[in-house]
């Protein structure tokens, strides 16, 4: 097996790290908006949160298209079966959340009759779902819960990458970086 076949492609690495940074920034935006005292600050921060969420959705769809057209390296051979199953499960849940959270936020926003301002560049109109404040509130609650679950899964993902890198010494994090040793 070639050295590069043990790593993700450059495109996959770019998508991974850009989306990872965007998700963490978006989580912090949501936290800052929740703790903002002035309503105008809260609205402004949530506007950026919504726009970044739509951008994450678009990037995720691009990442999935990339993944379907570029081979993914196999998991390291020294993983226990439960570790391989957990890794695959967490990755599937990541994709579900990367698509479901922005869509859920957009639907709830639409149920509130609001458009999404994309950083002042253009506006995405509400989806044609009608207005329903109670449904919007329920979906926003699920959105917040999903966001919390996502953060815990990200922590698990980081811990797993560090374990595989420094304890198992199987390349772990270096499979998603253009440098570092990925053993054969």
In a domain, 50, yes or no: yes
In the predicted model, what is the mean pLDDT of residues 65-70? Answer: 96
Q: What integer best gives the mean pLDDT of the chain?
A: 94
User: What is the count of structural domains for the chain?
Assistant: 1
In the predicted model, what is the mean pLDDT of residues 32-38? Answer: 96
Encode pLDDT of 127-182 as tens digits. 999 999 999 999 999 999 999 999 999 999 999 999 999 999 988 899 999 999 88
Assign residue 126 the CATH number of its domain.
Answer: 1.20.950
In a domain, 181, yes or no: no
pLDDT for 2 beyond 50? no
Task: Indicate the pLDDT class of residue 3, thresholds 50, 70 and 90.
Answer: very low
In a domain, 182, yes or no: no
Task: Indicate the pLDDT class of residue 32, thresholds 50, 70 and 90.
Answer: very high
Domain enclosing residue 109, as ranges: 4-176
In a domain, 72, yes or no: yes
pLDDT of residue 6: 87
pLDDT for 58 beyond 90? yes
In a domain, 184, yes or no: no
In a domain, 60, yes or no: yes
In the 3-class helix/strand/coil scheme, how is the chain assigned residue by residue?
Answer: CCCHHHCCCHHHHHHHHHHHHHHHHHHHHHHHHHHCCCHHHHHHHHHHHHHHHHHHHHHHHHHHHHHHHCCCCCCCCCCCHHHHHHHHHHHHHHHHHHHHHHHHHHHHHHHCCCCEECCCCCEECCCCCCCCHHHHHHHHHHHHHHHHHHHHHHHHHHHHHHHHHHCCCCCHHHHHCCCCCCCC
In a domain, 183, yes or no: no
In a domain, 13, yes or no: yes
pLDDT for 119 beyond 90? yes
pLDDT for 103 beyond 60? yes
């Amino acid at each position: 097996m070639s050295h590069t076949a043990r790593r993700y492609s450059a495109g996959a690495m770019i998508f991974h790290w850009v989306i990872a940074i965007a998700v963490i920034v978006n989580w912090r935006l949501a936290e800052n908006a929740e703790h903002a005292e002035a309503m105008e600050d809260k609205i402004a921060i949530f506007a950026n949160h919504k726009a970044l969420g739509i951008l994450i959705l678009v990037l995720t769809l691009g990442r999935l298209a990339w993944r379907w057209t570029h081979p993914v390296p196999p998991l390291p051979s020294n993983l226990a079966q439960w570790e391989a199953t957990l890794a695959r499960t967490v990755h599937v849940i990541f994709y579900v959340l990367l698509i479901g959270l922005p869509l859920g936020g957009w639907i709830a926003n639409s149920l509130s009759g609001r458009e999404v301002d994309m950083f002042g560049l253009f506006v995405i109109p509400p989806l044609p779902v009608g207005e329903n404040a109670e449904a919007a509130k329920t979906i926003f609650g699920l959105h917040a819960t999903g966001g919390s679950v996502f953060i815990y899964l990200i922590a698990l993902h980081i811990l797993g990458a560090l374990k595989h890198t420094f304890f198992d010494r199987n390349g772990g994090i270096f499979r998603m970086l253009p440098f570092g040793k990925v053993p054969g």
